[in-house]
Amino acid sequence: MNLRLVSLLLCLLGTVAGLLQAQPHILRLATTTSTENAGLLEVLVPEFKNDHGYEVQVIAVGTGKALAMGANGDVDVVLVHAPAAERKFVADGHGVDHRAVMYNDFVVVGPPDDPAGIRGGDDIVKALNAVASNEALFVSRGDDSGTHKKELQLWSEAGLNPNEEWYREVGQGMGKTLQIADELRAYALTDRGTWLALRKKLDLTIVVERDERLFNPYGIMAVNPANYPDINYEGARRLIEWITSPKAQRMIWDYRVEGEPLFNPLAVIVE
């Protein structure tokens, strides 16, 4: 092989290597539709890329689906809001480096005419019993998401197992569920962040809020690299450290709609 050809090949190899090195690392994040619907990730993800060079592929699904993807090794890191399911995920050996990130709360929204007569309440159990007693339409996500898990827990605390005609499971994300509730003039449980982001598009109003049982914390964890050696654990670890850092926690606190915070930081006290 002549020297010119060798030189050309080395040059080409160097160019390819340089291009590959210049490409950002890929990090697969499974998270909930609430973080996507609220628009928070549109703020956080680009800044994380600027700081660490990772191209984050966001997969927004229900919490149950997100955790299943993590357990199957289909993603590198999981950000969800179902504390009991998160603890089980870690205890079962699927996740590591579990950290609290932020919180908001759930609210019940409903039509302006409030057929169940629950507007202004702060007792979720009393409100759900009134919905059932009046057979008022209630739209459930029905998708094994963190919101759906919370809703089922609340019905259980109310001593109810709704399976009547007035209870509609739609198998959709939070944004779509709110749209359906709006169209049907029905009640629904939603996280406050998604509600604040979408409320101008809906003819619904908050009818129940501020019950301590409606607290809604979010946690993040890496998929266990011991189970899947090809997991991007380094990227997951960096995202976990970054999103719980003072900088990102301040960004979470500063992310607002009409002056109202959609999420509150949990990892760092922000003043």
Give me the pLDDT at residue 270, please: 78
Which pLDDT band holds residue 198 (cuts at 50, 70, 90)? very high
Q: DSSP secondary-structure letter at 142?
A: -
Is pLDDT at 242 greater than 80 in this prediction? yes
Report residue 77 as tokens. Answer: 């890191």
Is pLDDT at 132 greater than 60 in this prediction? yes
Alpha carbon distances (Å) from 216 to 57, 68, 194, 222, 223: 24, 20, 12, 20, 22
Q: Who contacts 41 (Cβ-Cβ below 8 Å, separation ≥6)? A: 31, 35, 58
Which pLDDT band holds residue 2 (cuts at 50, 70, 90)? low
If you classify domain 105-214 with CATH, what class do you get? alpha beta
pLDDT tens digits along 169-187? 999 999 999 999 999 999 9
- Return the domain boundaries, the chain: 24-103+216-265, 105-214
Q: How far is 214 from 101, CA to CA, in rounded Å?
A: 17
Q: Who contacts 127 (Cβ-Cβ below 8 Å, separation ≥6)? A: 108, 116, 118, 121, 207, 208
Q: Percentage of the chain with pLDDT > 90?
A: 84
* Beta-carbon-side half-sphere exposure of residue 78 (alpha carbons within 13 Å): 34
Determine the residue type at 97.
D
pLDDT tens digits along 146-163? 999 999 999 999 999 999
105-214 has the same fold as 24-103+216-265: yes
Give me the pLDDT at residue 258, please: 83
Residue with tokens 């357990």: 71
Is pLDDT at 10 greater than 50 in this prediction? no
Is pLDDT at 16 greater than 60 in this prediction? no
Give me the pLDDT at residue 137, please: 98
pLDDT tens digits along 71-122? 999 999 999 999 999 999 999 999 999 999 999 999 999 999 999 999 999 9
If you classify domain 24-103+216-265 with CATH, what class do you get? alpha beta
Alpha carbon distances (Å) from 265 to 31, 114, 151, 193, 255: 17, 33, 23, 13, 11
3 state SS of 36: helix
Give me the pLDDT at residue 220, please: 98
Which pLDDT band holds residue 18 (cuts at 50, 70, 90)? very low
Which pLDDT band holds residue 7 (cuts at 50, 70, 90)? low
Residue with tokens 């539709």: 33
Give me the pLDDT at residue 257, please: 86
Is pLDDT at 247 greater than 70 in this prediction? yes
Question: How many CB atoms sit inside 10 A of residue 122's CB?
Answer: 12
